[in-house]
Amino acid sequence: MSKQDAYHHHPELRGKIKPASDSFFRDLDIGAVDDHGAKAGFPAGWRTPCEEREAERRRWLEDRFDQDLWIFGYGSLMWDPYVEFDEVLQAKCNGYQRSFCLCDDGGRGSRDAPGLMLALDVGGSCEGLAFRVPREKIDQETFVLFRREMLIPVYRPVWLRLMTVAGPIEALGFVANHDHKDIKPGIPLHQQAEMIAHAKGFLGKNFDYLSDLNEHLDILGIEDAYVSALYNATAAARDQFR
């Protein structure tokens, strides 16, 4: 029997999601990450030790290795999942929403002008994409996933109940870790816009990150009033200083 088409529920998504083999994050070099952090002046212990991250992954998935695994993407994971999957579904998560509540003073910001990065935080709802990883690939694919998403403990893994065209599913997601100092919820939208408009770091301008998200949501046919409003407010803030 031929393998089922991963896009059989959503053929409109074909060609809009980067293959895992083409992703920079597929073979993320932790040694290179450490070297970059040292050159950037990051403090010692800025990232989660590999052994600690791996132990958490094993604990979290200890009863899940014998079944297929769904993973929820709400940001760049939607178009650059960097994991191999057998099926993709548009999915809605109630109780969590996109939020630029992750302060960034390195990659897309600086200590003098911190930027904001995306997280999934409590409240509202969020439409994204769910990817099904077959059971025989779970160990390798979750290793890749945790290496990227849990590099720094600004997120925490959770099990999310999602609604899809194929019915409800349970998926692994990564949400804002309120115990981490860099998670700062409740920043007013106009202040978020001002921060993003001016911030830049070694990965580039913060606005480019927001613009990329806004563009890809449109390409994927996903509406998010918050992201649209933040994008428009940030673009207006940038125009004021040109």
Q: Which residues are tagged catalytic?
A: 149
72's tokens: 């929820």
Please list, in sequence order, all residues whose beta carbon lies within 8 angstroms of the beta carbon of residue 209, skipping any fewer than 6 positions away.
108, 115, 117, 118, 196, 203
Residues in the chain: 242
Structure tokens belonging to residue 145: 């996933």
CB 16 within 8 A of CB 220: yes
In the block, tokens 């720094």 appear at 152
Closest of 133, 136, 163 to residue 146, by C-alpha: 133
**8 Å CB contact between 9 and 87:** yes
204 φ/ψ sector (left φ>0, alpha ψ -120 to 50, else beta): left
Q: What are phi and psi of 35, to 5 degrees?
A: -60, -40
Alpha-carbon distance of 21 to 27, in angstroms, equals 9
Bridge partners, 92 (sequence order)? 127, 163
Helices (H) then strands (E): counts for the chain: 6, 7
